[in-house]
Amino acid sequence: MIEVRISHRGGKGGGKGRFRGAALGALALASAPAAVLAQTAEEPAAPQENAAQEIIVTGSRIARSGFDAPTPVSVVGQERFEQRAITNVGDALNELPSFRPLVTPATQQAVGGNIGARVLDLRGLGATRTLVLLDGKRFVPSTTQGTIDVNLIPSSIISRTEVVTGGASAAYGSDAVAGVVNFIIDKSLDGFKGSVQAGISGEGDAGERNVQLAYGTRFGDGRGNFVIAGEYNDSDGMGDCYTRSWCPNEQLVGNTPAGFGGLPASIRTGPAGTGNLSSGGLIVANSGPLRGLAFNPDGTTHNYDFGTIYGNNPSPLFTYGGEESGRNGFLDGILLIPPVQRIVGYAHVDYEFSDALKANLDLSYGEVKGMVIGSVARSTLTINRNNAYLPQGVADIMDQNGITSFSLGRAFMDLGGSINHSRNRTYRAVLSFEGNLGDNWKWDAYYQYGRNKFRQNYSGNVIASRVTNAANAVQVGNQVVCGINADANPANDDPACVPMNIFGSGNISGPAAAYIAPSGYQTTDTTEHVLAANVNGALFALPGGDFSVATGAEYRSDKAVGTADALSTANAFWSFNGKAVSGKIEVIEGYLEAVAPILRDMPLADTLELNGAIRQTHYSRSAPGVDTTSVDATTWKLGAVYAPVPEIRFRATRSRDIRAPNLTELFGPVTAGRVTIVDPVNGGAQIQVNSLTGANRALNAEKADTWTAGVVLAPDWDFARSLRLSVDYYDIKIKGAISTLGAQVVVDRCAQGATALCSYVSRDGAGTLLQVQDVLQNVSEIINRGIDFELSYNTDIGNAGSLDFRVLATKYLKLAIGGVDRTGQTGYRPGTTTGVPDYIIDGTVTWRKNAFTLSAHGKYIPKGIFDTTLVGPEDDGYAATLPSSVNTNRVDGRFYLDLSASLRVNEQFELFGVVNNVLDKDPPMAASAQGATNQVYFDPIGRYFKVGARVRF
């Protein structure tokens, strides 16, 4: 459901949007999709004195009334938040079909950085291509990726959220490639409002509590306005994979070589055990008397139950079943959803000195704190016969068979994963002025200061090199010491090394654990300064209305300075490895926009309007020790609206958009993580390797060519007067797109002959994969095509009340990144990028009668592809012998049903309740790094209950 309530307010203290707005003034009726039309169609006529006030809808820089925008604008009203009992604007938008919820608390299991962040990704083009505004102004970058965490935007007083789908760089500058999300603050609040609510899952976890308070008043005989708001949210998160029955039931198990036993290279099955390590230590050997001996907590051994091994590799990464399938070292401890706390405060004051001058001051503060548990460290170690802790039984076998050493695979589940705490704080202040120049000309100017302070601290983070040192324990006299301190080479000594008993779970001493798993940290401090000024007005009259223009200039400076501990800087830790970042980007830009209403109220030409904009931008990028570089870019847009009759309206735009690399992409860290790769060079064998991801100082700006075309139907028939339908097609092609390909894709394409990518793949002399660099690059291109649909209808059913229907859908036609089409992909295999479903449908039915409201919300995601780079029996060209073969390449669809109800006790007090996932649907199986499903699209929680109350007076 997308809806808006647009109010007119005349007299002194009228809204700022009539002077500048971030948008095409009063462009709602044709630019907004159907639900907007339905709502505005029901609005009573405003008093005559208010008729000249503009309705501002995001889309351009010209503020005016009476004409319609060529670019589709969706508007999410406060009613959606209340019906769904959603306390975060990010959650509300991520429910919409046009957004890909790639960065949410549900997708951040073992990932450090901005824990609990909610980042908007329009069209699946990546969050960096979605420009986020607050009241038409940029928001300070607030994540380590240089994007905006909307947790830090005050949800409690957002009157509506406007989403422009299509390129808008000519109007707003860099980042508006996929579109613009503009949060509009309710600055007209008069009185007090508040809400309190709590939620819990049917399993008794994922508890959440939320409090929101806001107050507004007018002063100075109505010339001044003051608004203040605050909110607090506390979410408990969820436990690890083993708190849900579905979660351990699928992983990707390798079958090497592909085709062995008639089976494909990869098999989706579970629960999976491990074939080359165990929680107490497993001796890894292809044959011989030590093969398959696993260590008990008391140091004795038992014959390890491997379960079912696919292929001829006696020690594969994963097996089917076996003794470690009950708690797998790859899933143990990783929270399905992390706990997050959020605090947001906001204050606004404005004063109209005269009709020619109004001043505004906005202050806001946001803080998000979260915690994640990293994946359990895993090591394969060489154990020598002289190891001081080697159990005697194993030593005897080695002596009897002339064995001097063996390999030991160990998952450090007794230590647990590293614990990472993050704290993200954002401060923002905006001082703005606006006024009239006479003769329908208006101006505005503002200065904005923003600062983001981020810090993460991690403890218990294992260092692989120290594990090797500590595990090599030798006896010297009556003392056990680290072998590096007892050998003949003083250069490798480490006085801090503490010998470690690695044989059997629970035998690592406290001092040894502190040595191999110390603490680390990362900080990033980002500041933003913005100076901008704009003028808009009418030049002359045309048959359809005034020829209007807007022009302006902006200066923006973004600077980031960060620090990190020495171990993180050296990529020494098993996980997280925060890095220092230092750099600055300065931007100077100017724009010109014009609207030409050619015809109006004529036969077969109820409306004909042309729109155009051009922007010139200069970027200067600098960092300590790096030569300063610059980039110049020109962006433009052309649009048209044609309505032969009032009931049907056509619209189209063509634009050239750009996105310059941000601070993090240019000067941020390159960090190491672990990723599972299916290696096509070695028969599809599964292997865990280091993957380097992060910044690249050689990045250039990306360019996008965007087309949008659509139609809006608003029939005037008696039986369907409230029916509204919009259909919009979009086509976005980005050249030189800044993106990662995914470690798996880098390896695959190198093997297929893309020699330029082979420099990012490291192998040893035997061809064994060692490391993959999946850093940001200007990949060849991204192609994104699709169609948006929206339908709304409301009807009076007499004494039974009224019904309101809203349906939104997005049909994805193509999402190709670097030559790999991810359309229809609803799996999220490790080492790859996520895709988009073939389509998504989101609908709401609301029944109202007197003080009672009942709503049903449904969302449908169809059956999809597990990975578009794999082939299964359902796909053309399948053969089990292919390294890319998989036993099934499909993911089941899901329909989620949510119910909500509210009762207005009186004018001041309302009670409400919500049940999400009423049918308690488990997510479909789709093996991922998150467990057995893709939590980007599918609900891991199950049935969920919310109750609360609202007050207003």
| Under 8 Å between Cβ of 416 and 408 | no
* pLDDT recorded at residue 164: 86
* pLDDT recorded at residue 48: 36
Query: Percent of the chain having pLDDT more than 70?
Result: 93
- Return the C-alpha torsion angle 845, 848, 853, 858, nearest 10: 0
* pLDDT recorded at residue 27: 30
Q: What is the pTM of this model?
A: 0.87
What one-character-per-residue DSSP string does 803-836 give? Answer: EEEEEEEEEEEEEEETTEE-BTB----TTS---B
Binning pLDDT at 50, 70 and 90, where does residue 59 land?
A: low
pLDDT of 106 over the 90 cut: no
pLDDT of 35 over the 90 cut: no
Q: What does each C-alpha distance from 907 to 189, 376, 950 come to in angstroms? A: 16, 54, 11
Binning pLDDT at 50, 70 and 90, where does residue 699 land?
A: confident
| Under 8 Å between Cβ of 934 and 892 | no
Q: How far apart are the first and last CA of the chain?
A: 27
d(CA 72, CA 59): 8
Cα-Cα-Cα-Cα dihedral sign, residues 836, 338, 410, 767: positive
Binning pLDDT at 50, 70 and 90, where does residue 821 land?
A: very high
* pLDDT recorded at residue 107: 85
pLDDT of 63 over the 50 cut: no
Cα-Cα-Cα-Cα dihedral sign, residues 321, 322, 327, 328: negative
Tokens representing residue 487 in the block: 């050998």
Per-residue pLDDT tens over the stretch 730-785: 999 999 888 877 888 889 889 998 888 898 899 988 888 988 988 888 877 899 99
* pLDDT recorded at residue 239: 94
Query: Which carries the bigger pLDDT value, residue 88 or residue 309?
Result: 309
| Under 8 Å between Cβ of 810 and 776 | no
Place of tokens 């699946």: 124
pLDDT of 8 over the 90 cut: no
Tokens representing residue 377 in the block: 């460290």
* pLDDT recorded at residue 234: 97
Spell out a b/e string for 295-323, using b for 16 or more CB atoms within 10 Å of the CB, else e: beeebebeebebbebbbebebbbbbbbbb
CA 784 to chain centroid: 18
pLDDT of 184 over the 70 cut: yes
What one-character-per-residue DSSP string does 711-762 give? Answer: EEE----GGGTT-EEEEEEEEEEEEEEEE---HHHHHHHHHTT-HHHHTTEE
* pLDDT recorded at residue 716: 82
User: Which residues, including other chains, have CB under 8 Å from residue 560's CB and lie 6 or more apart?
Assistant: 141, 524, 525, 526, 527, 581, 582, 583, 584, 663, 664, 667, 668
Average pLDDT, the chain: 88
What one-character-per-residue DSSP string does 157-198 give? Answer: GEEEEEEEES--HHHH-TTTTSEEEEEEE-TT--EEEEEEEE
* pLDDT recorded at residue 69: 54
* pLDDT recorded at residue 60: 59
Query: Which carries the bigger pLDDT value, residue 706 or residue 37?
Result: 706
What one-character-per-residue DSSP string does 655-697 give? Answer: EEEEE---HHHHHS-EEEEEEEEEEGGGTTEEEEEEEEEE--T
Per-residue pLDDT tens over the stretch 441-494: 999 999 999 999 999 999 999 999 999 999 999 999 999 999 999 998 999 999
d(CA 939, CA 838): 18
pLDDT of 29 over the 50 cut: no
pLDDT of 137 over the 60 cut: yes
d(CA 216, CA 189): 5
pLDDT of 47 over the 80 cut: no
Helix (H) or strand (E) holding 515: helix 510-516
Cis peptide before 511 (omega within 30 of 0): no
d(CA 84, CA 896): 13
Mean pLDDT of 629-645: 92
d(CA 633, CA 656): 10
Encoded amino acid at 35, one letter: A
Helix (H) or strand (E) holding 352: strand 340-354
d(CA 784, CA 810): 12
* pLDDT recorded at residue 165: 81
| Nearest alpha carbon to residue 883 among 779, 776, 785, 752 | 752
What is the assigned CATH class of domain 16-240+338-373+421-458+522-952? mainly beta
* pLDDT recorded at residue 353: 94
* pLDDT recorded at residue 78: 81
Per-residue pLDDT tens over the stretch 592-616: 999 999 999 999 999 999 999 999 9
| Under 8 Å between Cβ of 816 and 868 | no
* pLDDT recorded at residue 40: 32
What one-character-per-residue DSSP string does 847-866 give? Answer: EEETTEEEEEEEEEE--EES
CA angle 104, 107, 113 (to 5 degrees): 75
Per-residue pLDDT tens over the stretch 250-261: 999 999 999 999
pLDDT of 810 over the 90 cut: yes
* pLDDT recorded at residue 52: 36
CB atoms within 10 A of CB 490: 8
d(CA 145, CA 114): 9
3-class secondary-structure state, position 285: coil
Ramachandran region of residue 321, left (φ > 0), alpha (ψ -120 to 50) or beta? left
Domain boundaries, the chain: 16-240+338-373+421-458+522-952, 242-332+378-411+464-516
Place of tokens 């509300």: 92
Per-residue pLDDT tens over the stretch 862-889: 999 999 999 999 999 999 999 999 999 9
Regarding beta strands 56-58 and 23-25, do their DSSP bridges make them parallel or antiparallel, or are they unpaired? antiparallel
Mean pLDDT of 13-39: 33
| Nearest alpha carbon to residue 281 among 316, 311, 324 | 324
Binning pLDDT at 50, 70 and 90, where does residue 58 land?
A: low
Mean pLDDT of 237-249: 94
| Under 8 Å between Cβ of 89 and 134 | no
In three state form, how does the secondary structure of 424-481 look? Answer: EEEEEEEEEEEEEEECCEEEEEEEEEEEEEEEEEEECCCEHHHHHHHHCEEEECCEEE
Tokens representing residue 870 in the block: 């794999």
